[in-house]
């Protein structure tokens, strides 16, 4: 089937991210937990039409742009390194496995299962919707899902 005929589950990252934010909040509430602030959710950066994707683990608080941020954050040392070496604005998609800032990037270990599933669902939908021919996966925490 030609690419033009393939139905993608995500057409617009902004809309998908907004829907994700609502589902993530509901998942915290379903676990009888107060949802962490939505201000610390971090939106994927770039376009699903990008030829290359950078897949990271989880955003930290090492940034000067903590609230309502995007993954492409040059004030974060690790992200800056990726963006200065392998990221081309307008031609790259960059996203995290978990879309919420966490001090120790341990969402995979400590988030309730339903919260992890909401994150995994969005990432799965993004990956099946992106046109990238190359996906670079950074770090053991993100890579272990592909082994």
CATH number of the domain encompassing residue 34: 3.40.470
pLDDT at 140: 76
Residues of the chain with pLDDT under 50: 1
Q: In this structure, what token pair is assigned to residue 38?
A: 């939505």
Nearest CA to 95 among 60, 131, 58?
58
Phi, psi of 95, rounded to the nearest 5 degrees: -155, 165
Containing domain of residue 10, as a range? 3-146
- Total domain count, the chain: 1
pLDDT at 87: 72
Query: What is the predicted pLDDT for the residue at 1?
Result: 47
- Specify the pLDDT at position 17: 98
Q: How much is the pLDDT for 141?
A: 76
Q: Which of 94, 101, 119 is nearest to 59 (CA)?
A: 101
Structure tokens at 87: 């990221």
Residues 26, 64: Cα–Cα separation, whole Å: 28
- pLDDT for 15 equals 96
Whole-number pLDDT of residue 4: 54
Q: Find, among 49, 28, 42, 47, the residue nearest to 133 by Cα.
A: 49
Indicate the DSSP class of residue 61: S
Strand boundaries in the chain, DSSP class E: 42-43, 45-46, 52-56, 69-70, 92-96, 134-137
pLDDT at position 109 is 92
Given this model, what pLDDT does residue 78 score? 86
């Amino acid at each position: 089937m030609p690419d033009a005929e393939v139905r993608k589950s995500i057409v617009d990252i902004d809309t998908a991210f907004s829907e994700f934010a609502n589902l993530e909040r509901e998942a915290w509430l379903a676990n009888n937990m107060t949802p962490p602030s939505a201000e610390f959710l971090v939106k994927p950066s770039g376009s699903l039409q990008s030829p290359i994707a950078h897949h990271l683990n989880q955003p930290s608080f090492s940034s000067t742009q903590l609230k309502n941020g995007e993954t492409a954050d040059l004030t974060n040392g690790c992200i800056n390194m990726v963006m200065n070496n392998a990221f081309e604005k307008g031609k790259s998609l960059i996203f995290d496995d978990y879309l919420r800032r966490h001090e120790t990037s341990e969402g995979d270990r400590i988030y309730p299962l339903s919260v992890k599933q909401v994150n995994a669902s969005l990432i799965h939908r993004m990956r099946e919707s992106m046109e990238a021919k190359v996906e670079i996966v950074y770090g053991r925490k993100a890579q272990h899902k592909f082994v």
